[in-house]
Amino acid sequence: MNMGSQLMLDMLYYMSLAREMENRIERKLYRQGKILGGVYVGRGQEAIAVGSCIQLEPEDCVCPSHRDMGAYLIRGFSPHTIFAQYLGRKTGPARGKDGNLHMGDMGKRTVAFVSMLADTVPVAVGIGMAYKMRGQKNVVLCYFGEGSTSRGDWHEGLNMASVQKVPVVYICNNNQYAYSTPLDKQMAVASVADRAQAYGMPGVSVDGNDVIAIYEATRSAIARARAGEGPSLIECRTFRMTGHSAHDDASYVPKEQFEEWEKKDPLRRLEARLLQDKAASEEELKQLGARISREVDEALALAEADPYPEPLETLQGVYADWTMEAPLAFAGQFFAQEDR
């Protein structure tokens, strides 16, 4: 495909930024004990969110999953607020109420997923229904891993999406492991894309480490959705170049698999393509790396200096019309406010 070099450079920027941020998060901040709780990164899978999200219009919607850092960056979540989120700071999009990529902002048309993966699959149907009811030509990109395709919500959602003919593109990060469970223990079909047939929608399988292939496949599916022809499923075959989460050393993954997939690294592939097309020089790529490193340093410094939320923040925001006093009263007011 004859892809503009600026677009490829933009994609490289987001993929590299996602990787650098996640390297800091997983390999530094988590190990330093600065980030507590679960840390799930998308190392090796950066092409998927970036190659698909980058072509959205502002009014389109995204339902990312936990390895889709690039989706958040493209939708306008700043590295500063993302770090603040991981660090449990007040300035994170969840204001300390939730951690890691569990964040969203409907102003940025980005839905916060929950840990019960595949829950956003039917939620995306409803967003698509809203577009249809309002006569808008927008689309929803909904992401999940191959493990999510074993859940009932996934199947209910795909079925309803197809019956309702909603403008949703379902994108699977098939990284071959759901925590420690390999593909052949997750499903008896050869490919996630095969599942699409059961729901009467097109299903394609693409190289999940080739950002250009992902861009292309998503572009066709988005065009179909905007034309009112209904949902599609795209399986992006990739590999999780890390454990399930930061505490997991992935000792159950054969070493050879890591070595094999290391050679297919999506960032290095895109860089090679840019060099080959003479769209960028070695020097320019080096400068990009330095720029990202600086950007990440600055964002992290800002986030680390940000305050934690006040403990009483715990009681706020459960309902639109409840003041802080209301949940206290409902709980029986065991503690007078001055005791806290």
Partner 1 sequence: MAAVTYLEAIRQGIWEEMERDPEVFILGEDIGVYGGAFRVTAGMLEHFGERRVIDTPISESAIVGAAIGAALMGMRPIAEMQFADFISCAFDQITNFAAKCRYRWGAGVPIVIRGPSGGGVHGGPFHSQNPEMYFVHTPGLKVVAPCTPYDAKGLIKSAIRDDDPVIYFEHKFLYRRIKEELPVEDFLVPIGKADIKRKGSDLSIISYGAMVHQALEAASTLAQEEISVKVVDLRTLVPMDKECILESVKKTSKVILLHEDTRTGGIGGELAAIISEEAFEYLDGPIMRITAPDTPVPFSPPLEEFFLPKASDIVRIARQLAAY
The CA distances from residue 52 to 104, 142, 218, 308, 317, in Å, are 18, 10, 6, 34, 33
Residues 300-319 contacting partner 1, CB under 8 A: 317-319
* Cα gap 284→280, rounded to integer Å: 6
* Cα gap 173→48, rounded to integer Å: 7
Find the part of the chain contacting partner 1 (CB under 8 A) among 122-130, 236-244, 248-256, 289-297: 122-130
Q: Pick from 326, 335, 337, 340: which binds partner 1 (CB under 8 A)?
A: 326
- Judged by CB, which is closer to partner 1: 46, or 119? 119
Annotate each residue in 149-188 with x if it binds partner 1 (CB under 8 A) or - if it does not, as one string.
---xx--xx-xx--xx------------------------
* Cα gap 103→84, rounded to integer Å: 11
Residue 164 CB, shortest distance to partner 1, in Å, is 8
Q: Pick from 35, 111, 196, 246: which binds partner 1 (CB under 8 A)?
A: 111
Q: Are 214 and 208 in contact (CB under 8 A)?
A: yes
Closest CA to 53 of 41, 40, 44, 62: 62
The CA distances from residue 54 to 8, 25, 105, in Å, are 10, 23, 17
- Judged by CB, which is closer to partner 1: 128, or 203? 128
Q: Pick from 130, 187, 250, 279: which binds partner 1 (CB under 8 A)?
A: 130
Applying CB under 8 A, what is the total number of residues that bind partner 1?
50
Q: Pick from 332, 336, 338, 339: which binds partner 1 (CB under 8 A)?
A: 332
Residue 127 CB, shortest distance to partner 1, in Å, is 4
Q: Are 197 and 232 in contact (CB under 8 A)?
A: no
Q: Pick from 22, 68, 98, 271: which binds partner 1 (CB under 8 A)?
A: 98
266 is a contact residue toward partner 1 (CB under 8 A): no
- Judged by CB, which is closer to partner 1: 301, or 318? 318
* Cα gap 111→217, rounded to integer Å: 23
Buried b (16+ CB within 10 A) or exposed e, 292-302: beebbeebbeb
Residue 309 CB, shortest distance to partner 1, in Å, is 12
Q: Is 175 exposed, middle or buried (CB count within 10 Å of its CB: 0-12, 13-18, 19+)?
A: buried
Residue 291 corresponds to which amino acid? Answer: R
Residue 259 CB, shortest distance to partner 1, in Å, is 38
- Judged by CB, which is closer to partner 1: 177, or 199? 199
119 is a contact residue toward partner 1 (CB under 8 A): yes
Q: Is 334 exposed, middle or buried (CB count within 10 Å of its CB: 0-12, 13-18, 19+)?
A: exposed
Length of the chain equals 340
Annotate each residue in 38-77 with x if it binds partner 1 (CB under 8 A) or - if it does not, as one string.
-----------------------x----------------
329 is a contact residue toward partner 1 (CB under 8 A): yes
* Cα gap 278→98, rounded to integer Å: 44
Residue 172 corresponds to which amino acid? Answer: C
Q: Pick from 34, 90, 97, 269: which binds partner 1 (CB under 8 A)?
A: 97
Q: Binding residues for partner 1, per CB under 8 A?
A: 61, 93-95, 97-98, 102-106, 111-112, 114-116, 119-133, 152-153, 156-157, 159-160, 163-164, 317-322, 326-327, 329-330, 332
